[in-house]
Amino acid sequence: MTLKYEITKLYTCFEDSPKCYRIRALRDIPRFNVKAGDFGGFVQYEKNLSQEGDCWVSNDAQIHGNARVYDSARVYDSAWVSGNARISDNAQVCDNAQVFDNAQVYGEAAVYGNAQVFDNAQVYGDTYIYGIVEIYGNAQVSGKARAFNNAHIFGNARVYSRAHIFGNARVYGDAKVSGSAWIQGNAVINENMKVLGESSISSSDQIYYVDGVTAYFDRSNILIVKGTRKHKTHHETLAMLKLL
């Protein structure tokens, strides 16, 4: 196997990270506009960055611990990948993002800004995670989902399809958010809640959850039940949910 890069004697060592060494390309990687001789980012060990494929670490990004980056994945800017994390396929981790513990980022997913993915969380598909966001626990975010602006997704939560989680929204427990649903503001989706279709939930909404059915009033006081719209009073809502 022809080596893709070498580890130089140039190193960096921050207070909260081990000594990591800057790499230098031994061959061109056209995908990332890398030429033989170009310096890359930092690794603690050769095992951190596969010598196969086009995967690359650049700028001041670091990969350390037992973390692995392979396939055509890229880690750059000031991002960190550590612990037992795995970054693969065409995934990207950049800006000041961090992926650590046993977290996985793969597919076409991108994690950037100040986002953090950790514990046993998985981010995959064509998902974008950005801004100040935390994905952790056993949570999974996939499909074309987006999470940004102080969103938190954790526990056993699943966010997928084209769902958007943002603002100060929290999705956790065994909750599932899918379709084109938007969860925003200070909204909390938890327990076994399911939000589907083209639903939109914000901080001012009231959410009712009874026996597997989720219903809430939006800002126009229109009842949303699994993505459908019906005009109901609050008392009618509770009565209806008790009958479901």
Q: What radius of gyration do the chain's Cα atoms show?
A: 21
Q: Note the pLDDT tens digit of each residue in 37-92.
A: 999 999 999 999 999 999 999 999 999 999 999 999 999 999 999 999 999 999 99
Residue 198 gets the label, from left (phi > 0), alpha (psi -120 to 50) or beta, of: alpha
DSSP SS3 for 238? helix
Q: Note the pLDDT tens digit of each residue in 105-130.
A: 999 999 999 999 999 999 999 999 99
pLDDT > 90: percent of the chain: 65
Order the strands of the 116-117 sheet from edge to edge.
Answer: 5-12, 20-25, 39-43, 62-63, 80-81, 98-99, 116-117, 134-135, 152-153, 170-171, 188-189
Q: For the chain, which residues make up each domain, given as ranges?
A: 1-64, 84-203, 206-244
Judged by average pLDDT, the poorest of 92-96, 138-142, 160-164, 188-192 is 188-192
pLDDT, residue 193, reads: 73
Domain 84-203 has CATH 2.160.10.10: yes
**200 band by pLDDT with thresholds 50, 70 and 90:** low
Cα–Cα distance for residue pair 111/98, rounded to 1 Å: 8
